[in-house]
Structure 1
Amino acid sequence: MSVPFGLDLGNNSSVLAVARNRGIDIVVNEVSNRATPTVVGFGPRNRFLGEAGKNKETSNIKNTVGNLKRIIGLDYDHPDFPTEAKFFSSKLVKLEDGKIGTKVRFAGEQKTFSATQLAAMFIDKVKQTVLDDNRGANLTDVCVAVPAWYSEEQRYAISDAVKIAGLNPVRIVNEVTAAGVSYGVFKSDLPEGAEAKPRTVALIDIGHSSYTCSIASFKKGEMKILGTAYDKHFGGRDFDRAITEHFADEFKDKYKIDIRENPKAYNRILLASEKLKKVLSANTTAPFNVESVMNDVDVSSQLTREELEELVKPLLQRVTKPIDLVLAQAGLTKDDIDVVEIIGGTTRIPVLKNSISEAFGKPLSTTLNQDEAIAKGAAFICAIHSPTVRVRPFKFEDISPYSVSYFWDKQVEDEDHLEVFPAKSLYPSTKLITLYRTGDFNMEARYTNPKELPTHIKETIAKWNITGVVPVEGEDSIACKIKLRADPSGFHIIEEAYSIHDIEVEEEVPAENEGEEPTYKKVKKTVKKDDLVIVAKTFALDEKTLNLLIEEENAMTAQDKLVAETEDKKNALEEYIYTLRGKLDEEYSPFASEAEKKKLHDMLNKTEEWLYDEGDDSTKAKYIAKYEELASLGNVIRGRYLSKEEEKKQALRAKQEASQMSALAEKLKAQRKEENDNKKNGDADVDMD
């Protein structure tokens, strides 16, 4: 059975959840952490994904890539690029399609990977984590949570990354919407019934890199998003960098070192600043110490909560803008909000919580798990789409902030476009339109008001070529039905297209009086004539490119697996050498002749020398061969030892069984004696009578 899988693809770390055991469970990774670093690293032979990439980040700084969700689907020449580039230690480059890629050294060569490929590598890694946690289960479907500010192009890029990783993206959902699903599904006190007033909840999500505010109305079993606003350059990483820049200036004066000139040193201070920020969320002051930052200099300092608040004051002034925007979009005031629910790790900062609370004029609620609510909601959404899992009914709709119109070739005297999905309309949604066509035609989906769009959203959404249009004989045009859809992932698609025409049929007219014959009349009836062929041109990768990237990812995954297995065999050989050498002079000693001991010691020494010399970087087959060569003699001696040990166990067991039988015999003997004594006493009593 396929396990429904939800992925909260975070900028700093990602959380995985699955629907199973009549609930939603968070999946822990290989080191039992409930969140996995969203990091991809490259080494001399293999990749370092997730925890491994994070552990090697400082020593492998130029070949480690994070912040994946910030560059996926983004143009290299976009105004946001300079802002994003300062958070990268690897080299960002412009790809042939104008997108952002990274150049790293991998397997001894300089290689360039697109942001979509990097995301696919990470998704492939967490897929394996889920499979390891669900032994024997099948994993095909995933619901991925992404920022609400993602353009349709970026959503397609994430969808492609999921496909490259070998999964089916059943839904690309907004992060705050997924959190809202968690709230709606697991809250037991929501209003119920047609007459009940819905509960209006403001959902605030401030993560590592962005800040999103959505307002949703809840009833039992349903949710509607009323508005969404965001600041995509406001998050925990901005707080971390403010602290790092403060210490960079301090250490330049205090220790005469400039960490800005050394990427490794800057990264170490950045990581320490993140930890300091977390400590100051619970304490009023905290020390700051990092050993050998650069030039063998140890640094130390401290920071108070008040000093931190002063450092981030420019950031805090931006808190209210998304709140004002979302209230205006939803047509509500602060007094209309019943609950303000906060999620995201950055909302743990006390001064930030105070700013949000003051903006709404009410206390904040933390009933949702701040780190896991999004992943749990995504897993539930995936389960909704699963044909094998039953979930409680829950209906939810998201909001599209911008109007979308469809345009077509002007073939007859009619309009050449139509606003199909107005601004603030809810999706998923389907509309059916009728066009009169003289032949094959083209269509486009575009945003109706391009001037309203943020800079990262392109005006044209998708194009379609529709063929197979054949007018009825004697007619210049034919009616074509076009089913337009804003699907659950927010993609604007043409779901179906077909031509229709009128035919004359005879329709029976029932008799007015009993016994009379029915009559017939000719009527016109509209019927489907032909299904039309739809060829779409969207932001998605074409099939050929997608298949090539799937093959490349599979090859790299196989190489990673081979390297891991080779390392395991090398470690097994090393362990066998030391274990066997120690036991050969102790418990195995009585079971080997002097000649065997000498021969085996020589083999062990020779293999050890090889292992730390030319065998340090050998093949899996060579390590197996060396292991089997030692085991051919070592296991014989070990077998003698185990045989003797088994004899001792059997002898001890036989002795214990004999002792138990003897004790049982004595017990039975005593019982018979007691019975005989009782019988004699009974006979004596009879004689006396």
Structure 2
Amino acid sequence: MSTPFGLDLGNNNSVLAVARNRGIDVVVNEVSNRSTPSMVGFGPRNRYLGESGKTKQTSNVKNTVENLKRIIGLNFKDPDFDIEGKFFNSKLVQLKNGKVGVKVNFGGKTHTFSATQLTAMLIDKVKHTVQQEIKSTVTDVCLAVPVWYSEEQRYNIADAARIAGLNPVRIVNDATAAAVSYGVFKSDLPGPKEKPRIVSLVDIGHSTYTCSVIAFRQGEMKVLGTSYDKHFGGRDFDRAITEHFADQFKDKYKIDIRQNAKAYNRILCAAEKLKKVLSANTTAPFSVESVMDDIDVSSQLSREELEELVKPLLKRVTDPISKSLSQANLTVNDIEFVEIIGGTTRIPILKKSISDAFGKPLSSTLNQDEAVAKGAAFICAIHSPTLRVKPFKFEDINPYSVSYTWDKQVEDEDHLEVFPANSSYPSTKLITLHRTGDFYMKATYTDTSKLPRGTPATIAKWKLTGVNVPKGQDFVPVKIKLRCDPSGLHIIESAYTLEDITVREPVPLPEDAPEDAEPQFKEVIKTVKKDTLGITAETFALNPVELNDLIEKENELTNQDKLVAETEDRKNTLEEYIYTLRAKLDNEYSDFASDAEKKKLKEMLATTEDWLYDDGDDSTKAKYIAKYEELASLGNIIRGRYLAKEEEKRQKLRANQEASRMDDIAEKLAAQRKAQASSDEGSEDNDENMDLD
């Protein structure tokens, strides 16, 4: 049975949660952290994913890719590319399909990977982390993504999950997932027929700022409005601090960290830590050793100086708030609570700016780092056929109007706005068209001027086949079921032709009709389903051939990583065995080996050690195993003698302890018998005295 899995794929860190044990648990990674760095690195032989990618980042900066969620589905010529490019040390390139890819050096060769592939690598890593932790399989996942993700990006992230061997049961907006956490675990919400509680959820993470207005009742919630600033987050604060020190160090130490990617990255990482320290302190020191040219740098920064550096960012705080309220047709006075999540909302001046914009104090009843992942895990559990969860209904909102167009075959309209802006989803609409034969349909955004820059106007295309027009008719009615599914994807769920048939229906008899009156019938024309149409979709999803190719490549890379890890483990085992056996040979094993055996084994150990640090430094798993077994063939004989002697000692000690225990028992029994005998003699004396009396 698969365990429901929720993934908050963050730009800086990802959080993993599962539904089990009648609750939602956050899964810790291999170093017991509750979040995993969203990084993919490439080395001479294997990949560095998650924590290992973060560890290797400073020394492997050009081949470490982060900010994955920002480039998935991004066009190379998109206006946002210039903004995103500033946050990358690895080389971004244009792929054949016009999308952004990353060129890295891996295994001594140059490789180019798409953003979808890189994201799949990270998802595959966290999938294995979950499986190792919960000791269970994981197949279904609910992925939380930014509100501003386009239909194309949602398909891309779903493809990444499939490449990683997961079934994406739902793609959910991260703010909506966090709101589900709030709605499910809050026990004081209004009843189903009461006025809903209006809550504004402000989420500011590493790269994105989202504000949602949500109405809550017991067992349900509805998103009323959502707005965002996709270029506002913790990384902008980090960069502001880094740029400040870059200017300072240029004057103070005569070094320009902007010209050295490793140096800039080290200052950027230190700036992130400094930002966190200043959230709790008014001033903090700043120092980094050997930044570049063997120069150590040091300085300090106060909270006031930080607030001055980020003033341009703070001016943008109110915009998403006012837009989300406008979309919901509400004012700040209608908001009852303001919930904040996301690590960046811990910055004091930012919290104050948000509070001032709403004119009320902020609430942080949700876990700021884990609320999204927990909500996603609960949503995944809803889709599980094997789990029973607390009933909870939730609806999201369409930010943009979507229209469907079709071939104009007869004199009727050739387009229709089906899902208006601000309408809720999931949602289903039925339309009827008059068709003369097979036809095409297309879903597009109604008003392209309101779309984010670079968003494709066309969402999907379909070819509908199997339209048979009866003889004597010019056209046939076709009923089409259009749907905006729970993941926000626009699809054609079904389509079929209609036909009119004549049926006989009984006519009700008058009340005074005799009992033996014959029933009357009338002929009625009814419209019924005739032929189901074939639907061929053309979406942003990978076709089956491409998907299978990428799945095979990911499996190959995973197996390669596993082999490298196992080889390294065998190498370490061999090295440890050499030093351990050598030390024991001169100590506890000394009396159990002849001089000839000691000499031979020491020579073998020295030879293997020389090989290990020379030709064997980069050998194969099988070779390390063979070398280990060669040493163990003699070492285990000596160890066996030692263990046999130790076992003999333990048995002798155990026998002595058992004999001692039996002696103690015998003494106690003897003492008891003696005491009983004395007691019996005393009783006889008393009896005699009684007789004399």
Work out whether the TM-score is over 0.5.
yes
Q: CA deviation at 1:518?
A: 3.8
Q: CA deviation at 1:520?
A: 4.3
Contact 1:472/1:501 (CA < 8 Å) preserved in 2?
no
Q: CA deviation at 1:448?
A: 1.1
> Equivalent residue of 1:17, what SS?
strand
Q: Which amino acid aligns with 2:79?
A: P
- CA–CA separation in structure 1 for the residues paired with 2:578 and 2:520: 100
- Larger CA deviation: 615-624 vs 495-504: 495-504
Contact 1:76/1:99 (CA < 8 Å) preserved in 2?
yes
Cα deviation, 1:132-151, whole Å, max 9, x if unaligned, reads 1111x120111111110111
Q: Which amino acid aligns with 1:582?
A: A
- Which residue of structure 2 aligns with residue 187 of structure 1? 186
- CA–CA separation in structure 1 for the residues paired with 2:46 and 2:514: 88
- Which residue of structure 2 aligns with residue 149 of structure 1? 148
Contact 1:290/1:298 (CA < 8 Å) preserved in 2?
yes
Contact 1:191/1:199 (CA < 8 Å) preserved in 2?
yes
In the superposition, relative to structure 1, how do residues 681 and 319 fare at CA in structure 2: closer, same or farther (>3 Å)? same
Q: CA deviation at 1:72?
A: 0.4
- CA–CA separation in structure 2 for the residues paired with 1:489 and 1:687: 102
- Which residue of structure 2 aligns with residue 553 of structure 1? 554
- Which residue of structure 2 aligns with residue 672 of structure 1? 673
- CA–CA separation in structure 1 for the residues paired with 2:90 and 2:60: 10
Where in structure 1 are there 5+ consecutive unaligned residues?
none
Where in structure 2 are there 5+ consecutive unaligned residues?
none
> Equivalent residue of 2:687, what SS?
helix
> Equivalent residue of 1:308, what SS?
helix
- Which residue of structure 1 aligns with residue 429 of structure 2? 431
> Equivalent residue of 1:229, what SS?
strand
- CA–CA separation in structure 1 for the residues paired with 2:530 and 2:281: 73
Q: CA deviation at 1:676?
A: 2.9
Q: Which amino acid aligns with 1:547?
A: N
> Equivalent residue of 2:501, what SS?
strand
- CA–CA separation in structure 2 for the residues paired with 1:228 and 1:375: 19
Cα deviation, 1:577-616, whole Å, max 9, x if unaligned, reads 0000000111011111111111111111111011000000
Q: Which amino acid aligns with 2:70?
A: R
- Larger CA deviation: 170-179 vs 517-526: 517-526
In the superposition, relative to structure 1, how do residues 568 and 521 fare at CA in structure 2: closer, same or farther (>3 Å)? same
- Larger CA deviation: 328-337 vs 468-477: 468-477
> Equivalent residue of 1:249, what SS?
helix
- CA–CA separation in structure 1 for the residues paired with 2:641 and 2:452: 77
TM-score, normalising length from structure 1?
0.98
- Which residue of structure 1 aligns with residue 515 of structure 2? 514
- CA–CA separation in structure 1 for the residues paired with 2:419 and 2:405: 13
- CA–CA separation in structure 1 for the residues paired with 2:686 and 2:338: 92
Q: Which amino acid aligns with 1:140?
A: T
- Which residue of structure 2 aligns with residue 595 of structure 1? 596
Q: CA deviation at 1:210?
A: 1.0
Contact 1:151/1:456 (CA < 8 Å) preserved in 2?
no
Q: Which amino acid aligns with 1:674?
A: A
Aligned to 1:289, which of 287, 290, 293?
A: 287
- Which residue of structure 1 aligns with residue 466 of structure 2? 468
- Which residue of structure 2 aligns with residue 523 of structure 1? 524
> Equivalent residue of 1:185, what SS?
helix
> Equivalent residue of 1:387, what SS?
coil
- CA–CA separation in structure 1 for the residues paired with 2:349 and 2:99: 38
- CA–CA separation in structure 2 for the residues paired with 1:474 and 1:640: 100
Q: Which amino acid aligns with 2:47?
A: R
Q: CA deviation at 1:55?
A: 0.6
Contact 1:149/1:232 (CA < 8 Å) preserved in 2?
yes
Q: CA deviation at 1:519?
A: 4.5
- Larger CA deviation: 506-515 vs 63-72: 506-515
Q: Which amino acid aligns with 1:168?
A: N
Q: CA deviation at 1:516?
A: 4.3
Query: How many residues align structurally?
Result: 687
- CA–CA separation in structure 2 for the residues paired with 1:533 and 1:26: 43
Aligned to 2:239, which of 225, 238, 241?
A: 241
- Which residue of structure 1 aligns with residue 611 of structure 2? 610
- CA–CA separation in structure 2 for the residues paired with 1:86 and 1:377: 32
- CA–CA separation in structure 2 for the residues paired with 1:42 and 1:515: 90
| CA RMSD across the alignment | 1.2
- Larger CA deviation: 449-458 vs 239-248: 449-458
Cα deviation, 1:183-227, whole Å, max 9, x if unaligned, reads 111111111131x21111110011111111000011111110000
Q: Which amino acid aligns with 1:643?
A: A
Aligned to 1:503, which of 494, 501, 504?
A: 501
- CA–CA separation in structure 2 for the residues paired with 1:493 and 1:197: 34
Aligned to 2:212, which of 200, 211, 214?
A: 214
Q: Which amino acid aligns with 1:59?
A: S
- Which residue of structure 2 aligns with residue 64 of structure 1? 64
Cα deviation, 1:33-81, whole Å, max 9, x if unaligned, reads 1111100000000000001001111100110000000100010000000
- CA–CA separation in structure 2 for the residues paired with 1:569 and 1:421: 59
- Which residue of structure 2 aligns with residue 99 of structure 1? 99
> Equivalent residue of 1:668, what SS?
helix
Q: Which amino acid aligns with 2:373?
A: A
- CA–CA separation in structure 1 for the residues paired with 2:487 and 2:133: 27
TM-score, normalising length from structure 2?
0.98
- Which residue of structure 2 aligns with residue 344 of structure 1? 342
> Equivalent residue of 1:44, what SS?
coil
Give runs of aligned pairs for residues 344-493 of structure 1, distance below 5 A.
344-493=342-491
- Which residue of structure 1 aligns with residue 130 of structure 2? 130
- CA–CA separation in structure 2 for the residues paired with 1:501 and 1:612: 82
Q: CA deviation at 1:685?
A: 3.3
Q: State whether structure 2 residue 316 is matched by structure 1 residue 318.
A: yes
Percent identity of paired positions between Structure 1 and Structure 2: 73
